[in-house]
Homo-oligomer: A and B are copies of this chain.
Amino acid sequence: MTETATVRRSRLTPEREAELYAAVLDLLREVGYDALTMDAVAARTRSSKATLYRQWGGKAELVAKAMRSNKPHTNIADVDTGSLRGDLHTLVSSTDDSAMEQNNALMRGLAMAVHSNPDLLKAFRELIIEPEMMEIRRVVQRAVDRGEVRQDNPAVEYVLHMFVGAFVARGMIDDQPPTQSFLRSYLDAVVLPALGVSTTP
C-alpha cells in the first residue's frame, strides 16, 4: 500500500466530520473561543491533534467550518416562491428557534474573538457572512428581475445588516432570544417596507 493510499484512507467520513463539528460547537458554547483548545477538541472527540491540524489547519478554520456545518444544507436561494416576501419568510423558517438560540450563543462567544484574531475573522467572513450575502443577493436580484424591487433602492445593500441587527438586538433590547415569529414580524415591519415591497400576503 502506498503512503498516498494510506493518507486517502485516513480522511474522515461525513458522519465522523459531523460528529467532530458538533463537539466543537458544544465546546464553544461551554467555554467560548478563547478558552477552546485543540487538546480539548481532541480529547472530547477521541481523535489525535495531528488529525485535526491535517484536516483543518488550525483552530480558527475548524471553528468556522463547524459553524458553517451548523447551517441547513438546503440552498435557500434555490427556493423560488414567486415573491420576495415568500422567499424571505422561507429563509427565516429554515432555522428553528432552538437552533437560532444556539447560533445566538455562538455569536456572543465569537464577538470579541473575531475582532482580535484576523484568521478567525477571515474564516468567519468567508464561511459565514459571504455565503449569506450571496444567498440574499440572489433572492433580492430575483425580486428586482420580477419588478418587485427597484435596482437602485439603497436598502438593497443593507438587507443582511437589517437581519443580523434584529438578531443581535433582540437579546440586548428585549432580553428575549431571537425566534422565527420575531423575525417574521421584523421582516414585515422593517425589511420589506424598506425595500418598497407591500407586506400584504
Q: Tell me the A residues contacting B by CB distance below 8 Å.
A: 32, 105, 108-109, 111-112, 114-115, 121, 124-125, 129, 133, 153-155, 157-158, 160-162, 164-173, 175, 185-186, 188-190, 193-194, 196
Contact = CB atoms under 8 A, between A and B. Distances in A.
- Chain copies in the assembled complex: 2
A49 B186 CA distance: 45
B171 A115 contact: yes
A189 B155 contact: yes
A100 to B, nearest CB: 15
A172 to B, nearest CB: 6
B190 A158 contact: yes
A149 to B, nearest CB: 12
B161 A173 contact: yes
Contacts of A168: 164-165, 168-169
Given A168-B168, A175-B125, A154 B108 contact: no
Given A112-B108, A166-B165, A129 B173 contact: yes
A129 B161 contact: no
A154 B133 CA distance: 26
A166 B160 CA distance: 9
**Most B Cβ at <10 Å: residue of A129, A162, A186, A188:** A162
Contact of A112 (B111, B154, B161, B173): B111
A7 to B, nearest CB: 36
Contact of A186 (B111, B158, B164, B167): B158
A141 B53 CA distance: 57
A114 B111 CA distance: 13
